[in-house]
Amino acid sequence: MLQTRILKPANDAYQYPLLIKRLLLSGSRYEKTREIVYRDRVRLSYRELGERIARLANVLTEAGVKAGDTVAVMDWDSHRYLECMFAIPMIGAVVHTINVRLSPEQILYTMNHAEDRLVLVNSDFVGLYQSIAGQLTTVEKTLLITDGPDRSAELPNLVGEYEQLLAAASPHYDFPDFDEHSVATTFYTTGTTGNPKGVYFTHRQLVLHTLAETSVLGGLDSVRLLGSDDVYMPITPMFHVHAWGIPYVATLMGIKQVYPGRYEPEMLLRLWREERVTFSHCVPTILQMLLSCPLGQGQDFGGWKIIIGGSALNRSLYQAALARGIQLTAAYGMSETCPLISCAHLNEELLAGSEDERVSYRIKAGVPVPLVEAAIVDEQGRFLPANGESQGELVLRAPWLSMGYYGEAQKSDELWAGGWLHTGDVATLDSMGFIDIRDRIKDVIKTGGEWLSSLDLEDLISRHPAVREVAVVGVPDPQWGERPFALLVLHEAQALDARKLKEHLKPFVEQGHINKWAIPSQIALVTEIPKTSVGKLDKKRIRVDIGQWQASNSAFLSTL
Ligand code: AMP
């Protein structure tokens, strides 16, 4: 250890712990009257938000929640969720943001594994909760959240209804100081096999993540995304990695926030229009859905800046959005990383280049944000050069990465092998610092002795004008090891078969973008591609179902 100089602080010097309560200081100072909106139902000022967080803290303390307990939330995106993201950690408890899109068995598993003590349940999930209540091993109390019918009689061990309890509680709470390394949040990630795994983040990590994210979203001129006069609406569930951390950023900055509740295209579009939303974030499939929904047809979305993450952003979606006035910026992260790791930044060199080149860089996973270290390694863990060509597993270091999987020593060690967090993604790094995600290691297609990126192929296929959505997976092939199989959703009144797709891909083979084994010999036309609980292409499910499409001689299957 280096012998550095460490000075003894003054006796009464205040040792400032980085706690989530600190994130509440500035926003309400900047903008006391600015609004937090929930659908067409609720409008709160920042002053009221602060009071409601204190009221909720009183309610939870009254209900017996103690520091170190885990409190779970089952809700759509709402102002109440925002209040939980602050109040629960601020009393020293841990907020478990339940992925309500998982199967009841998986939700049950996560709740027992996380040792939830109290659960806040939106009335829409009362039936779901009832179906698992008998097998919950640690939950002692429930609290009802409702916009409509009073379903309190149906919830066991009910403390009361959220609004009634808040109304009766004091708007003052003396939030204590405690160790900044205390766990603040937890949630579960569903891998390709086995049970969901719990990741967790401390107060210190969330504060540092918020500061870094604020500096990136607000500070980089080439992708200026979020200023204090912007209006923020998430289109990512708040249970998915803290809604990418942006509710904390928006609250820190005192930005107007709009929470849409359950995602319904009509409500999203109405809120966008009436509340003058300028900044959102979502996965590509959700944007695709919004662009193609009948209500949005012909709508000019001018001025809407959207971060796309969670999956690769392809050129066709980038251009389709731009044609409707939406400026997309790609970012990269994962459940284990809080999530922000990288975001597009166009440096002077790129800004001076062609528009085509700029687009290529705007849709990559981006440049690691401040404090993040990124590298690529081979299968033996040896570092590979950042030359834009060498491909390896992306590994990371940052102050806000989950330190392991809760209660899973072996999986935690694998995650952190060699002192770097292993992402499970194959990537290249270039000399400008850009990360280009080539594929999930598990999704790479091994064909004819070469590795083919399913993401590359999806990008090239999506450039065909008839294609609305595409997913590519590898299927076993006795001769080639694997061959790509493409699942397609076409635009209305369009037709495509395997032969026409081959013609579309041929120029890319001739130009050396892909090898000839990359041309799918089979495609299936479907009306919907299976999606995960957060709206990403569900390649696990597709692989399971693929036999069905292959075995059937249905009109949907087209073979070269
Ligand atoms: P999750 O933990 O469910 O949020 O999934 C994280 C995974 O999503 C990453 O490991 C990547 O495989 C993928 N992902 C996230 N952002 C991007 C991006 N910009 N480009 C490509 N893949 C991405």
Tell me the pLDDT tens digit for each residue of 460-491.
999 999 999 999 999 988 888 899 999 999 99
Q: Is 189 among the catalytic positions?
A: yes
The pLDDT, as a whole number, for residue 516 is 86
Identify the burial level of 493 via C-beta atoms within 10 angstroms of its C-beta, where 0-12 means exposed, 13-18 middle and 19 or more buried: exposed
Fold of 203-371: Rossmann fold (3.40.50)
256 CA to centre of ligand 1 in angstroms: 28
37 CA to centre of ligand 1 in angstroms: 29
The pLDDT, as a whole number, for residue 296 is 83
The pLDDT, as a whole number, for residue 298 is 86
Q: Which top CATH class is 444-559?
A: alpha beta
Catalytic, out of 192, 266, 349, 446? 446
Q: What are the sequence ranges of the domains in the chain?
A: 20-202, 203-371, 444-559
Cβ within 8 Å of residue 163, ≥6 positions away: none
What CATH architecture does domain 20-202 belong to? 3-Layer(aba) Sandwich (3.40)
Identify the burial level of 463 via C-beta atoms within 10 angstroms of its C-beta, where 0-12 means exposed, 13-18 middle and 19 or more buried: middle
Q: In the 8-state DSSP scheme, what is residue 47?
A: H
The pLDDT, as a whole number, for residue 223 is 81
444 CA to centre of ligand 1 in angstroms: 14
Are residues 328 and 322 in contact, defined by beta-carbon separation less than 8 angstroms?
Answer: yes
Q: Is 213 among the catalytic positions?
A: no
Residue ranges in the chain whose pLDDT is less than 50: none
The pLDDT, as a whole number, for residue 427 is 97
The Cα 539–Cα 475 span in angstroms is 12
The pLDDT, as a whole number, for residue 552 is 65
187 CA to centre of ligand 1 in angstroms: 16
Residue 454: CB atoms within 10 A of its CB come to 25
Residue having the nearest C-alpha atom to atom 22 of ligand 1: 311
Give whole-number Cα distances, 64 to 88, 93, 135, 521, in Å: 12, 11, 22, 61
Cβ within 8 Å of residue 16, ≥6 positions away: none
Domains 20-202 and 203-371 belong to one CATH topology: yes
Q: Give residue ranges with CB within 6 A of ligand 1.
A: 189, 241, 309-312, 330, 332, 334-335, 365, 423-425, 437, 440
Report the alpha-carbon angle 291-297-301, nearest 5.
65
SS3 134: coil
Q: Tell me the two tokens of residue 534.
A: 């957060």
